[in-house]
Homo-oligomer: A and B are copies of this chain.
Amino acid sequence: MSAYGSLGSSRLDRLVRQLTRLPGIGTKSATRIALHLLHNDASESRELAECIVEMKQKVRSCKRCGAICEEEECGICRDERRRNGQLCVVEQPTDIFSLERAAVYRGRYHVLGGLLSPLDGVEPDHLRLAELVGRVKEEAISEVVLALSASVEGEATALYAARSLQGVSVRITRLATGIPVGGHLEFVDDVTLERAFSGRQNVD
């Protein structure tokens, strides 16, 4: 139901219901959007509907790394200027954008598609771990950087991935844990502080 109850049209009510299924959209926003679409140009709503359908048809996962793309392989996998031999493992495709924005890494990526979480039913088989091991062997990877969240699930997944690569001659690293830039010691939690301490670095 909309923010006003029924809007006097079952089609409009149905659209409101569909919109509330989207993340971050409550009944008030859904009602506002539905009424906006009702009152605005027919071309705008047609374009939106087309965009949704076309996106769903054309967008897929890169066959190699699992990133979002429209071709067989994504732009990064096809980019010859990227450094070979280095593989950065991330949870989801959007993590690639975060790392690319920071422009700190020039190698290749591998998307796991999630983090291990037995309680939520995410088992090793659901992640692209076998593909990771395969690529490390085939692409003669010398370093795997595990760029996963510093959460319990992230750490468990990092450990599992490292164990999956046992016996393969490859350097396995992970992102440093510590105090975020701009973070005050006062507000940093104990676990992070402990990690920052044990991972302390020499001042040159």
Which chain A residues have a beta carbon within 8 Å of chain B's beta carbons? 4-5, 7-12, 14-15, 18-19, 21-25, 29, 32-38, 42, 44-56, 58-59, 67-70, 74-75, 93-94, 96-98, 100-101
Contact = CB atoms under 8 A, between A and B. Distances in A.
* 5 closest A-B pairs by CB: A4-B97, A49-B49, A15-B51, A11-B55, A49-B52
A33 B25 contact: yes
B68 A56 contact: no
User: What's the number of copies of this chain in the assembled complex?
Assistant: 2
A51 B33 CA distance: 13
Given A32-B24, A48-B18, A55 B75 contact: no
A36 B9 contact: no
Contacts of A19: 48
B54 A5 contact: no
Given A15-B52, A53-B49, A68 B38 contact: yes
Contacts of A9: 55, 58-59, 68-70
Given A12-B68, A33-B23, A52 B48 contact: yes
Given A11-B58, A32-B23, A68-B12, A97 B51 contact: no
Given A8-B74, A45-B55, 6 more contacts: A4-B98, A11-B70, A12-B55, A19-B48, A25-B33, A37-B56
B29 A24 contact: yes
